[in-house]
Amino acid sequence: MLFNSIDFAIFLPIVFLLYWALNKRLLLQNAFLILSGFVFYGWWDWRYLGLLIFTSGTDYLVALGMERTDDDRRRKWLLAVSLIANLGLLGFFKYYDFFITSFHQAFTVMGLPFHLSTLNLILPVGISFYTFQSLSYTIDVYRKQLRATKHPITFFGFVSFFPQMLAGPIERARHMIPQFENTRTFDIAMARDGLRQMLWGLFKKIVVADNCAQIVNHFYASPEQHNGATLLLATVLFAFQIYGDFSGYSDIAIGCARLFGFELMRNFAFPYFSRDIAEFWRRWHISLNTWFRDYVYIPLGGSRGNKAFVVRNTMIIFLVSGFWHGANWTFIAWGAINALFFLPLVVMARHKTMSGTVAEGRMLPTARECSGMLLTFAMACFAWIFFRSQDMHQAYTVIGRIFSSSLFEAPEVSSMLTLVISLFGIGLTVLIEWISREKQYGLQLDGKATRPVRYALYYAIIAIIIVCAPLGGGEFIYFQF
């Protein structure tokens, strides 16, 4: 079920009313959230509910087993069961066809027969997200950083919480399970704040991402037929498309969770206002990056050791992050490129220098801050070429066209109206988020404007969404990951 669909517009009010009708009956509320999560997920394809239930059931039982023993060997075996079950399912559905295709190509080049065929598997939506969320629970229990929850409804509610099940934020059990265990009461201020954040997320998804997608998809479908200026425009629009799409989803998820009395972790912190690439990665997809930090980077040794050791660990994290995003060499290249951008800062010990908000306490940035933001955005856009391309050949074609004399030709326009709407949406997004850059999200304007001004803005945004929504607005990009 999509957040930007009529189905969800009907589903959400019904679930909201029935949920709060069970006020102060915690067990029933949690059970109802599980049922709602199953309906929400099964709306896409009910057959894949079995994977969600299997993942949740396995990790629930594994954690209980680890809780009941102090035998290190037994605890390691139980953790191995969780790792194999979770990563095995994820690897099979997400990477089986990729590896078979890659091996076939490699053996063909060597003149050797290779007879295994691909299965053309459909990737279950959300599997990369709920798998990592559930897996973090068993790892935390193994590390004795968290007690295993004995109530299955609590744990199943944590894994199947519908606002963030499909595309994050990837929550941690130590943050969410206590919220499922404690009685929740309706908070009108919290709900109102949630609705504002949902509205902002819908604006970024529908007005920015969906309109940009119309142009990006057209030009990236056949980049060899377009000049460098056109492909540069399409790449910049893609940077805002993926930001509007994914941060928009996160805003809707976080705001929706607040309607039910839950606080989710922040997933984006205005990343395009970053002054270097290290700051960008602290602000982009925060829940995934901190997951890799806690469960991969630190166990590898983190920043302990010499520079070569740190460089190795950093490179591993970026490559793994790229591979997590999809079974394609383009994603691995995207991760490697970002690592190459990041590593000079690590070597010079400057990867943590940009820790505060840009232009904090001031309306306008300095020339140095502007140049830093523009350079960081340019680096991100270059890497996005690989992320967006269907294969490496297409990525090289786009880069070759951009870095050619055709860059100085006039860009082509597939639809002037769509381009104007896209640029208007981008401009409004940048303006509002710049004003709110010290807040949690764009429309959190308390203290920045009077109440009449704020409500006028809310209604204006609703009108803009209605008027500027393109025909055929699609799924969220990260559903494919």
Q: What is the pLDDT of residues 249-266, one digit of tens each?
A: 999 999 999 999 999 999
Cβ atoms within 10 A of the Cβ of 251, count?
A: 30
Judge if 167 and 212 occupy the same domain: no
In this structure, which amino acid lies at residue 353? Answer: T
Banded model confidence at residue 480, pLDDT cuts 50, 70, 90: low
State whether 206 and 170 are in the same domain: no
CA distance 418 to 441: 26
Amino acid 103: pLDDT? 57
Whether residue 241 sits in one domain with residue 179: no
What is the mean predicted confidence (pLDDT) over 401-418?
93
pLDDT, greater one: 474 or 180? 180
**How many whole angstroms separate alpha carbon 158 and alpha carbon 173?**
7
Q: Would you give the distance in Å from CA 43 to the centre of its chain? A: 21
Please indicate, yes or no, whether residues 59 and 119 belong to a single structural domain of this protein.
yes
Q: What is the DSSP letter of 479?
A: G
pLDDT tens-digit series, residues 76-133: 999 999 999 999 998 888 887 776 766 566 656 666 665 666 666 677 888 889 999 9
359, part of any domain: yes
Q: Three-class SS of residue 453? A: helix
Question: CA 442: distance to chain centroid?
Answer: 17
Specify if 358 maps to a domain: yes
449 forms bridges with which residues in the sheet?
446
Structural domain includes residue 417: yes
Q: How confident is the model over 405-409, as a mean pLDDT?
A: 94
Domain that holds residue 16: 6-186
- State the pLDDT at residue 111: 63
To the query of whether residue 104 is one of the catalytic residues in this protein, the response is no
What average pLDDT does the structure give for the chain?
Answer: 91
Structural contact between residues 376 and 331, judged by C-beta atoms closer than 8 angstroms: no
Least confident stretch, 60-69, 216-225, 322-331, 445-454: 445-454
Q: Indicate whether 152 and 236 sit together in one domain.
A: no
Choose the final residue of a domain: 186, 204, 224.
186
Per-residue pLDDT of 268-295, as tens digits, reads 999 999 999 999 999 999 999 999 999 9
Q: Is the same domain home to 360 and 453?
A: yes
- Residue 386 · residue 395 · CB < 8 Å: yes
Determine the pLDDT at residue 448: 67
Q: Is the pLDDT assigned to residue 19 strictly greater than 70?
A: yes
pLDDT at 99: 65
- Which pLDDT score is estimated for 104? 60
Do 126 and 138 reside in the same domain of the chain? yes
pLDDT band at residue 376, thresholds of 50, 70 and 90?
very high
Q: Is the pLDDT of residue 462 over 70?
A: yes
Is pLDDT of 446 > 90? no
Beta bridge partners of 446: 449
Of the residues 155, 170, 186, which one is the last residue of a structural domain? 186
Residue 228, SS3? helix
Q: How many domains does the chain divide into?
A: 2
Peptide bond into 169 cis (omega under 30): yes
pLDDT band, very low/low/confident/very high, at 319 (cuts 50, 70, 90): very high
Residue 123, pLDDT score: 74
pLDDT of residue 190: 95
For residues 153 and 159, the answer to whether their CB atoms sit within 8 Å is: no
Cβ contacts of 19 within 8 Å, gap of 6 or more = 29, 32, 33, 36, 260
- Closest to 136 (Cα-Cα) out of 10, 5, 288: 288
Encoded tokens for 231: 């492909």
Mean pLDDT of 54-58: 94
Is there a domain that residue 302 lies in? no
Would residue 335 count as lying in a domain?
Answer: no
Could you tell me if residue 337 is inside a domain? no
Residue 307 resides in a domain = no
Whether 260 maps to a domain, the answer reads yes
pLDDT-based confidence at residue 326 (cuts at 50, 70, 90):
confident
Is the sign of the CA dihedral 364, 462, 419, 250 positive or negative?
positive
Q: Are residues 360 and 408 both part of a single domain?
A: yes
CB atoms within 10 A of CB 108: 11
* Distance (Å, whole) CA 184 – CA 262: 8
Output DSSP code: residue 446: B
Question: What pTM was estimated for this model as a whole?
Answer: 0.93
Based on the fold, state whether residues 90 and 161 are members of the same structural domain.
yes
State the amino acid at position 93 in one-letter form: F
Per residue in 207-256, pLDDT tens?
A: 999 999 999 999 999 999 999 999 999 999 999 999 999 999 999 999 99
Give yes or no: residues 210 and 156 share one domain: no
Tell me: do 232 and 366 sit in the same domain: yes
The residue out of 186, 217, 235 marking a domain boundary is: 186
* Pair (60, 157) in one structural domain: yes
Mean pLDDT, residues 370-381 taken together = 97
Q: For residue 182, what are the CA distances in angstroms to 118, 134, 329, 394? A: 47, 20, 45, 51
Q: For residue 362, is pLDDT > 70?
A: yes
Percent of the residues in the chain that have a pLDDT greater than 90, as a whole number: 74
Q: How confident is the model at residue 444 (pLDDT cuts 50, 70, 90)?
A: confident
- Which one of 115, 325, 351, 393 is the catalytic residue? 325
Tokens 């020339």 found at: 367
Residue 351 confidence class, pLDDT cut points 50, 70, 90:
confident
339-343 CB contacts, 8 Å cutoff, 24+ apart: 339/314, 339/315, 341/277, 341/379, 341/383, 342/277, 342/278, 342/281, 342/314, 342/318, 343/311, 343/314, 343/315
